[in-house]
Every structure is written in C-alpha cells, then in structure tokens.
Amino acid sequence: MPPAAAGQAATVFAGVYAVGAPLLLRAARRARPERLLLGALSVFAIGNAATATAPSLIALFGARLVAAAGAGVFTATAAAVAASAVAPRRRGRALSVVVSGGSAAAALGVPLGTVVGAVFDWRTTFYAVVVLTLLITLATWVDARPRPPPADAIRRSGAPVRRSEVLLTLATTMVWASGSFTFFTYVGVVLHDATGVGAVGLAAFLLLFGLAGIGGATVAGRLTDARGPRPTLVGGLALVAVALAGVALGTTVASRTAAIATTVAAIAAYGFGTWSITPPQQFRLLESGGDQRLLVSLNSSVLYAGVALGSGLGGAVLASGAGTTVVCVLAAGLEVVALSLVALGYRPG
C-alpha cells in the first residue's frame, strides 16, 4: 500500500470513528448493550476482512469506514458495559481494565502488527485482526447471558444531564489531547533531536510508553475509586505537563548520555500520565447522567478533534523553524490549561 494511501485510510478511520460513532450510538440507543457489543465486533471483523481482501483503493476506504464504525461503537459501549457490570466503588478500576487494553495495544499490538506486516504483507495483519476479533466475539456471545447488574450499578439513562460538568469534561479531554498530540505526532522527530535514536530506538521508546501506560491506566482506576476522578486527573495532567517539560529539557542537554537518561524518564512519566486520563474522564461522564454510551463516544470524538488540533499546532511550530524544544514547551503549556479546566469548580473534600 503506498504511504499516502495508508495515511488517507487512517484519516477515513479516524473521521468515521469520531463523527460516525456518536450518531450510530444515538440511533441504537434502545439496543441492549450485549447485542450492541456483538454487533459492533461483527461489523469491525467484516470491515477488517473487507480491508484484507480489498481489490482497489476505493474498496479499501469503504472497508476502513465499516471497521471504524464498529470500533467506535465498541469502544464506547465497552466502557459503559464495564462500568455498569460492577458496583460504583469499583467503577474506576473496571474502566481502567478496558483502557489498559488500549495501552497494551500501544506496547504490543501495534508493533506486532507492524512485524506481521513486514514479514508477510499488510493484508496478513488485517487477517490476524479478523481472527482475533472473531475469537473475542465468540467469547462475548458465550458470556452474554442476561444477568441483573449489581443493585447499585449505574442506571442513569434518562436522568437529567449535568450539562456544565459534561462540557467541562469534554473540553478537558480536547485540551489534554491537543497538548499530548502536539508532541506525540512528532515523537520520532523530537526523540531523534533529543537523543539521536533511529527507528529501533524509537520502537524501544514506544514500548516503554505503552508499558508505562498500562501502569498509568491501572493506577488511575484504583485512584479514581479511592480518591475520586478529579484528584486523579490533577495528578495525571500534572505528570504529563512535567514529563513534556522533561522531554523539552532532553532536547537542550549537551551530553548524549544525560539526554537519553532524561528522555527515558520523561517518556515513562508521559506514558504513565497520559494513559491515566481516560478512566477518570469516562468516570466523570458516566456520573453526569444521560446516555452513557453517547457521552463516552463524544469523549472519543473530542479526543480526535484534539489530536487533529495538536498535530496541526505541532506541525505549524516545526514548519516555522522554532524547533522541537518549543513543540514540547507548547505541549506542556496546553496540559497546564487542561489542568486548570479540571480545577474549575473543584471543591476538595
């Protein structure tokens, strides 16, 4: 697949995921969660099978569109199902288990897919995704016997929505993602500038990022249950801001050894911090009342908007010749703005 086509296919996936998923979830708001999960996984498998066998570029784009629709609906429904499967005091941990699946993908899934694609071809990667998805669909179907949720589980669909809390939460996600992706979209350029690493070194940094992310999601879930979502977010966003400042420092250090040591610590902190944001954010939205699946999917939508905004900002900075240090400082500044949004209206206690 030509690189430009791969990039366009990724854009189609992201666009449908962000815009299409909330619309689909709104249309399917009366569907039972188990059926929605099975439907989403089936559509995702069909989309990937169609990708693997696509005879033309147009067919490939169509297939990615189908896969993205399934992925978007699955992600939002999975979070709502996980949260409603447990008692409220364990909701943060349940959300973090699902989110850690995403961080494990960063550490293992994406590199594994790349290796499979390199050893065989790109179609084999998508066939492998189909097989895995079918196995998970089968397990979900076997496990989907209707059972009553815990007595005190969330049952707020139809409850009045706390609009200001929802808007503040979504704004926080967007600013956090903007800051994060002002840096992360250009991670290869920044890390090369800071440490001189090539493709192998970058892969090692990304593995560290993903592994730290599993830890971050896990700890965030437990902290959300123990202390509440806002203190968890304050800690997570502060860590991301400090980590991005650390990467900026790494780009200015003259000694290569010191630069590598600084960058390793900063990337570990960045992975831990940035993957600790989603569980408490989803928790806040689920607590806000209204359609849980729709709110979680809107969170993903604004996240993608933040990704686009951050990528644009980072690109503009680099194009202006300001350099990678400025990219990291700008990213850290946006995380401070996100932190102040969390602090708005927060009454500790």
Residues that bind other proteins (CB under 8 A): 9-10, 13-14, 17, 37, 41, 44, 48, 64, 67-68, 71, 74-75, 78, 81-82, 85-86, 93-94, 96-102, 104-106, 109-110, 112-113, 126, 129, 132-133, 136, 139-140, 143, 147, 173, 177, 180-181, 184, 213-215, 218, 221, 274-275, 277-278, 281, 300, 303-304, 307
How far is residue 44 from each of residues 55, 90, 259, measured CA to CA in Å?
Answer: 19, 29, 42
- If we measure between CA atoms, which residue out of 96, 3, 16, 1 comes closest to residue 51? 1
* Shortest spacing between CB 171 and other proteins, in angstroms: 15
* Shortest spacing between CB 61 and other proteins, in angstroms: 12
Nearer to other proteins, 221 or 246 (CB): 221
* Shortest spacing between CB 262 and other proteins, in angstroms: 22
* Distance, CA of 256 to chain centre: 32
Nearer to other proteins, 143 or 340 (CB): 143
- If we measure between CA atoms, which residue out of 44, 33, 38 comes closest to residue 81? 33
* Shortest spacing between CB 173 and other proteins, in angstroms: 8
CB-based contacts of 58, cutoff 8 Å, min separation 6 = none
Query: Quick one: DSSP state of residue 120?
Result: S
Nearer to other proteins, 23 or 85 (CB): 85
Q: What distance in Å separates the CA atoms of residue 295 and residue 286, rounded to the nearest whole number?
A: 7
Nearer to other proteins, 260 or 339 (CB): 339
Nearer to other proteins, 95 or 168 (CB): 95
**Residues listed for the chain:** 349
Q: What distance in Å separates the CA atoms of residue 293 and residue 76, rounded to the nearest whole number?
A: 5
The structure tokens listed for 318 are 């680099």
Nearer to other proteins, 260 or 275 (CB): 275
Q: What distance in Å separates the CA atoms of residue 180 and residue 185, rounded to the nearest whole number?
A: 8
* Shortest spacing between CB 252 and other proteins, in angstroms: 25
Amino acid at 125: T
* Shortest spacing between CB 28 and other proteins, in angstroms: 17
